Amino acid sequence: MRLRHTTPALLALALLAPRAAAQADPLAGIDAYVERSMRDWEVPGLAMAVVRNDSVVLLRGYGVREMGRPEPVDSATMFAVASTTKAFTAALVGMLVDEGKVKWDDPATRYLPGFQLHDPYATRELTVRDLLTHRSGLARGDLLWYASPYDAEEVLRRVRFLRPTWSLRSSYGYQNIMYIAAGRVIARVEGKPWDAVLRERLLLPLGMTGTNTRTALLKGHPNVATPHERLEGRVRTIRWLSFDNVEAAGAMNSSAAEMARWVRFQLDSARVGGRRLLKPATFVESHTPQTIIRRDSAERRMNPFTHYLSYGLGWFLEDYRGREVVRHGGNLDGMTALVAMMPEERLGLVILSNLDSSGLPSALMRKVFDLHLGAPPKDWSADQLAASKRAREAAREREKKRERERVRGTRTSLPLERYAGVYADSLYGQVRVRAERGKLRAEFGPAFAADLEHWHYNTFRARWRDASLGSALFNFSLDADARVAAVTLENIGEFRRVPEPAAAAPPAR
């Protein structure tokens, strides 16, 4: 009853008091939370930056660059930032739009005359905007570039053999190859490579002078994180693979200190040093939903504070506790990255870590958001770790089920040497199978090599020698004449046997 006699001004102050208290030092205790969460997730190293009101209020490294070694992660440690590269590429396209050199809804083939998809209609209708918004109708096809022998030019040539999964613009389908194409649009219009345009138009103006797009430039660098992956139940170091051919989709390497400059640029509506690099309307367009992404019930249960999810131009867009969130994650072998912002709050963050496919960065993002908003305490790290453990257990159960379904005591239809040969696919290239010392060995591209162990009937299991690549089943099929005609690689597709060249006829006598 006494509240009825409170003046409006006093009432407003009373309502704001909890928020003001939270804002006094919203990141108090974050170091302890990060360090405990890293131990729980077994993340060796992590770098983090938080930006608020154009000021970097936290810039810190945690843990080590490589497990078992003492060198610490700091704010200058280099990580692969992977798919967070996409927002840089979209911004570059936006600059060309501002200059009248490109239009969002021009056909992509206007700038890439030889570019071709499997579907002629999609080839004709696909726009520059479509390249950036994951609605091409294509499923990933990532083995075209991942650990493959192909440069970006050949990747784009071969995408014509990737059959669509959906109709053009009918569904969200994350697509790295379309971003490679967007990078080639930039290169074609500007007359220089995508990464040269990136350095000239964004990295140098933002002061990101240490950021690069070439794995070779990390060799000999004094402060680089080592990639790690969970293999057979424990975290191990893995080698740096070169992903230079993924270019505009995810080839950047950077540090928390330099990526914080990118966050400040975004929070300041694409301005740096008072100079605008994107027109206001173009910047707004990049943060405007373009493609709807469906959220399943499990995601809703995990995060009840987010109600919609969409993709803009190089950014995922969602709500969180009534605020707009602009974010993008990135994963490459052994590395997980995240850039996220709450523009209405002038708040942003960068989290870089050296463990593959870790859910910790997204958990820390929500923790920072909650601390800033003065939300009720919630242990996002514990919740997401539990979900991650459930997913790993489900994967183990699927593997056990497959073992139970294996038919014991079977034999191959033919002697092993009859399975040896070259098998080819227009999309992915060649698989070579050799018979050596009573075993089959397979090679697929420069990174995939394995001994094949008999599984059942004409199916073999490949355990890739690089353990981080996992394993796969090879299923050989015979034709009507009992000759091996093809091999199907699990989750990849069918490779048809290449006929052996006919033996040369003996010279006439």
Q: Are 242 and 33 in contact (CB under 8 A)?
A: no
Percentage of the chain modeled with pLDDT above 90:
87
Average pLDDT, the chain: 93
Contact between 211 and 80 under an 8 Å Cβ cutoff? The reply is no
CATH fold for domain 416-497? Lipocalin (2.40.128)
Output b/e per residue, 405-442; b: 16+ Cβ within 10 A: eeeeeeebeeebeebbbebebebbbebebebeeeebbb
Q: How far is CA 19 from CA 12, 22, 147, 372, in A?
A: 11, 5, 49, 9
Write the CB contacts of 107 (distance below 8 Å, at least 6 apart in sequence): 124, 125, 126, 127
Choose among 362, 356, 482, 462: nearest CA to 412: 482
Buried b (16+ CB within 10 A) or exposed e, 279-300: eeebbebbbebbbebeeeeeee
C-alpha distances in angstroms, 32 versus 38, 40, 62? 10, 12, 10
pLDDT, residue 273, reads 92
Query: What pLDDT score was predicted for residue 390?
Result: 94
The string of DSSP codes covering 45-79 is EEEEEEEETTEEEEEEEEEBSSTTS-PBP-TT-BE
Q: What is the pLDDT of residue 245?
A: 96
User: For 367-410, how does the pLDDT look when each residue is reduced to its tens digit (9 = 90+)?
Assistant: 999 999 999 999 999 999 999 999 999 999 999 999 999 999 99
Q: Write out pLDDT tens, residues 28-83.
A: 899 999 999 999 999 999 999 999 999 999 999 999 999 999 999 999 999 999 99
Grade residue 232 by pLDDT with cuts at 50, 70 and 90. confident
- CA–CA separation, 11 vs 381, rounded Å? 36
| DSSP-assigned beta bridge partners for residue 46 | 62, 353
Q: Point out which residues pair with 421 in neighbouring strands.
A: 433
pTM of the model as a whole: 0.92
Residue 200 and residue 213 in contact, taking contact as beta carbons nearer than 8 Å: no
Task: Quote the pLDDT of residue 11.
Answer: 39
Q: Report the SS3 class of residue 111.
A: coil
Which CATH number applies to 26-395: 3.40.710.10, 3.40.50.720, 1.10.150.130, 3.10.105.10? 3.40.710.10
Question: Helix crossing, 8-24 with 360-373: angle to 10°?
Answer: 140
Whole-number pLDDT of residue 500: 83
How many CA atoms lie within 13 Å of 503's alpha carbon, on the beta-carbon side? 3
Q: Are 326 and 266 in contact (CB under 8 A)?
A: yes
Start-end of H helices in 351-442? 360-373, 380-405
Task: Give the per-residue pLDDT at 502.
Answer: 64
Over residues 197-216, the mean pLDDT reads: 97
Question: With helix as H, strand as E and coil as C, how does 221-256 read?
Answer: CCCECCCEEEECCEEEECCCCCCHHHHHHCCCEECH
Run of H or E residues at 310: strand 309-311
Residue-wise pLDDT tens digits, 288-337: 999 999 988 888 888 899 999 999 999 999 999 999 999 999 999 999 99
Res. 507: pLDDT tops 70: no
For residue 464, what are its two tokens? 């890739």
d(CA 265, CA 204): 13
Cβ(134)–Cβ(291) below 8 Å: yes
* Paired tokens of 223: 């402060």
Nearest to 466 by CA among 493, 445, 491: 445
Average pLDDT over residues 223-228: 98
Q: Tokens in use for 461? A: 């299991």
Number of C-beta neighbours around residue 316 at 10 A: 19
Residue pLDDT, tens place only, 98-138: 999 999 999 999 999 999 999 999 999 999 999 999 999 99
Q: Please give the distance of CA 180 from its chain centroid, rounded to a whole number.
A: 13
- The residues of the chain that CATH labels 3.40.710.10 are 26-395
Strand order in the sheet with 347-353: 55-63, 45-52, 347-353, 335-342, 323-332, 316-320, 309-311, 291-292
The model's pLDDT over 434-489, given as tens digits with 9 standing for 90+, comes to: 999 999 999 999 989 999 999 999 999 999 998 888 899 999 999 999 999 999 99
pLDDT at residue 508 in the model: 61
Digit-coded pLDDT (tens) for 69-103: 999 999 999 999 999 999 999 999 999 999 999 99
Q: What is the pLDDT of residue 509?
A: 59
Q: In whole angstroms, what is the distance from residue 279 CA to residue 297 CA?
A: 38
Q: What is the pLDDT of residue 468?
A: 86
Where in the chain is CATH 2.40.128.600? 416-497
pLDDT given for residue 417 in this prediction: 95
pLDDT of amino acid 302? 86
Other residues' Cβ atoms within 10 Å of the Cβ of residue 180? 26
